[in-house]
Structure 1
């Protein structure tokens, strides 16, 4: 692993793990030796990162040189905590992990008083289950949108009949009670909305449709508006 990548990985671990975090825990998280952790912490301190603590006690990142200071006011902090809390309960493990990572990064850039506001925010999300249960890992579909690559899915209609479709994924939409994928269906040669809870499998089809995603999505949204 390149040294710069290793240092960034160490910074991320210190943002996310509960402080004070021991060198042994950091070594486990980043996959390097204890000796490397001690050396890398010294390097980060030399570069300007505010890291409190010492060997045998643990470390706490108090000022993150990799991120600029943030100037959120208190209501903005409440909105961040509430919004990211909702994402963590959507039912998509990748998004839940990303939401936790974003919150940790934001906390690392806040002044002490604002950080306390974030850690003890009034607004919270509590759900007794995932909001959008799905039968498939959305990673392949999300990647297809990002990369503008076709995806092959196994899809069950409302009667339970299953078919294999190749789609051009355009967007993932979170409605009140379900998650849907807006796409161009290559089988039907038309725009279609696929419910995520009816997708049993998804994998890359190996075909690019770049750079058409934005244009196709704009056309689909215009069609939905015309339908009223």
Structure 2
């Protein structure tokens, strides 16, 4: 691994962590000595990276810094393209448009050879199974999740009974045949899952729910026995 690649990997190691990490752990992850690790951190700090910490305490990267030029390995570009292709074929048109925009921004700052390898990716996504979402409400659901806003929904259960509920949506799951919303249900006073194709009506209430989305997601993970995000972020 070249020094430039090592510095990029060090940045990624720090970005993946929200709390200070020891120099020993970072050196072990990169396969270098502590002395080399300290030199690399000093080099990044000299280039403007807001890395706080010191030996024996740990290091944390403050947000807002990109190491130019933006570089990815060929496998990383394959992963990005595969993810974007999945989004384009398995979600709604608005999110597909956003995925294409994100790829365009990445391609614009890549060197020419890497830009070509991005578009030449041989990892493809097959045709999706038929998904019946009923209401065209995925954009509204994503907005409510981002803004931590309550929703009034009319929901049809398995017995074809309609009920009105106020929910606090905090996550949206995309499966092969259904979309699932994870939310706090005021009616049940508990965390619940709702199938999007069973939404009969949806109305944003404009009212922020009183718990942070991250707290609801943490509680949901604990109840589901999920200890970490699969991407580690």
TM range, normalised to the smaller chain?
A: 0.5 to 0.7
Q: Encode CA deviations 1:9-63: one digit per residue, 9 max, x unaligned.
A: xxxxxxxxxxxxxxxxxxxxxxxxxxxxxxxxxxxxxxxxxxxxxxxxxxxxxxx
Give 1:49's aligned residue.
Answer: none
| 1:148–1:169 CA contact under 8 A, matched in 2 | yes
Corresponding residue for residue 75 of structure 1: 75
Query: Who is 1:114 aligned against?
Result: 114
The aligned residue for residue 133 of structure 2 is 134
Q: CA deviation at 1:198?
A: 1.1
How many residues end up aligned between the 2 structures?
159
String of CA shifts for 1:113-144, please: whole Å, max 9, x gaps.
111111221112231x4665412321222111
Quick check: 1:170 aligned with 2:173? no
Question: Offset of 1:108 from its aligned partner?
Answer: 0.9
State the Cα distance separating 1:84 from its structure 2 match: 0.8
What is the TM-score with the length of structure 1 in the denominator?
0.63
Counterparts of 1:188-203 in structure 2 under 5 Å? 188-203=188-203
Match of 1:30 in 2: none
1:38-117 → structure 2 map (5 Å cutoff): 69-117=69-117
Cα distance in 2 for residues equivalent to 1:210 and 1:218: 15
Query: Structure 1 CA distance, aligned partners of 2:121 and 2:215?
Result: 40
When residues 92 and 68 of structure 1 are mapped into structure 2, their CA distance, relative to the original with a 3 A threshold, is farther
* CA distance in structure 2 between the partners assigned to 1:133 and 1:99 by the alignment: 22
Cα drift, residue 206 of structure 1: 2.6
Name the structure 1 match of 2:158: 158
Moved over 4 A (4+): 129-132
Unaligned regions of 5+ residues in structure 1, if any? Answer: 1-66
In 1, the alpha carbon distance for the partners of 2:79 and 2:225 equals 30
Query: Post-superposition shift, 1:213?
Result: 2.1
Q: Is the 8 A contact 2:151 2:203 kept in 1?
A: yes
State TM-score, norm by structure 2: 0.62
Secondary structure at the aligned position of 2:216 is classed as helix
Query: What is the alpha-carbon distance in structure 2 between the residues aligned to residue 216 and residue 80 of structure 1?
Result: 28
Paired residue secondary structure (2:90): coil
